[in-house]
């Protein structure tokens, strides 16, 4: 009698569990496909083969978190990041050291994976862009997710990526780089500490696309951002690039409904 009751109870639990799996599977698949800004931006741009570098933090059921990087471009709290890292967000939160601030979208680029967002004040330094000096083929540059910078700063990393120039991606800077999830929107810094591009997505194991310098500056200018330009070195040759990257950038979190 007891044995049969236990069997019936187990069977009941199994049925309940199976039902939950079905419900969770539905909750899991439908909202993700419907809500992920990554997939929206991919479809619009026809970039199905490539892989955006904003990090989905948790398996989503109701909402979703995306983690990327943004950096300051003026003294009044304007920041650049990747469009796919902040598009379709219910809320955008910037985290830098002990600060946590809500950001709003000012502009989204139609053609490139760029977004201009704004917080109440600039934390740290604003980026400096070259006037005309573009990174040459095989030049070593630096880029990484904001969260990875302390580790790289401690290691004294001067550069971690190499510029490739093959003309296959107009408007973009192609780099051979180890950057991974969370790096979307990160600045690509040259040896002088100048921003050469904005990390967008990985297209191959050894190939990352960043929106190019001219396109980035044109986007900022079109939106009235008073950004600084200078071809002179902004850092000492011995300054680890991760230090300057940390001084200008912040973690950006996109919360979707």
Partner 1 sequence: MRRQYGELIRSPSSSSRRQAIAAACALLALVSAAAAAQTSPFRDPASAPPSWTQFAKLVKYRFEEWLGADDAIAARFRVYLKAHAGASDGPPPKLIVQAWVSPDGSVERVSFPALGDAGATKDLTTILSSGNVGEHPPPEMLQPIRLRFSLGAVK
Task: Give the integer Cα–Cα distance in Å for 246 and 149.
Answer: 6
| Per CB under 8 A, 232 contacts partner 1 | yes
Task: Give the integer Cα–Cα distance in Å for 82 and 108.
Answer: 9
Question: Which of 32, 40, 51, 57 forms a contact with partner 1 (CB under 8 A)?
Answer: 57
Interacting positions 76-115 with partner 1 (CB under 8 A): 91, 93, 100
**Residue 126 contacts by C-beta under 8 Å, 6 or more apart in sequence?**
72, 73, 74, 75, 227, 228, 248
Place of tokens 């300051």: 72
Q: What are phi and psi of 37, to 5 degrees?
A: -65, -20
Please report, for the chain, how many H helices and E strands are present, in that order. Answer: 6, 16
User: Pattern 129-168, binding to partner 1, x per CB under 8 A?
Assistant: ----------------------------------------
**Contact region with partner 1 (CB under 8 A), list: 19-27, 40-48, 76-84, 244-252:** 244-252
> Judged by CB, which is closer to partner 1: 9, or 120?
120
The token duo for 185 is: 């929107």
> Judged by CB, which is closer to partner 1: 8, or 25?
25
Interacting residue ranges for partner 1, rule: CB under 8 A = 57-63, 65, 91, 93, 100, 123-125, 128, 193, 230, 232-236, 238-240, 243-244, 246-247, 253, 255
């Amino acid at each position: 009698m007891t044995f049969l009751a236990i069997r019936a109870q187990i069977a009941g639990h199994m049925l309940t569990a199976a039902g939950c799996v079905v419900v969770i599977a539905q909750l899991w698949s439908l909202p993700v496909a419907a809500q992920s800004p990554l997939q929206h931006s991919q479809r619009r741009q026809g970039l199905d083969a490539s892989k955006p570098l904003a990090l989905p933090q948790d398996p989503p059921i109701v909402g979703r978190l995306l983690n990327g990087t943004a950096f300051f471009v003026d003294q009044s709290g304007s920041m650049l990041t990747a469009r796919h890292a902040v598009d379709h967000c219910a809320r955008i939160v910037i985290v830098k050291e002990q600060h946590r601030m809500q950001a709003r979208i000012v502009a989204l680029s139609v053609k490139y994976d760029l977004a201009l967002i704004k917080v109440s004040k600039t934390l740290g330094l604003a980026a400096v862009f070259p006037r005309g000096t573009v990174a040459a083929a095989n030049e070593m540059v630096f880029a990484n997710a904001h969260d990875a910078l302390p580790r790289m700063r401690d290691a004294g990393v001067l550069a971690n990526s190499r510029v490739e120039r093959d003309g296959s991606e107009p408007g973009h800077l192609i780099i051979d780089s180890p950057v991974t999830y969370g790096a979307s929107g990160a600045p690509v810094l040259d040896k002088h500490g100048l921003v050469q591009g904005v990390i967008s997505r990985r297209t191959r194991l050894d190939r990352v696309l960043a929106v190019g310098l001219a396109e980035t500056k044109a986007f900022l200018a079109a939106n009235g951002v008073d950004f600084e330009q200078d071809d002179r070195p902004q850092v000492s040759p011995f300054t680890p690039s991760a230090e300057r990257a940390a001084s200008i950038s912040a973690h950006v979190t996109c919360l979707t409904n």
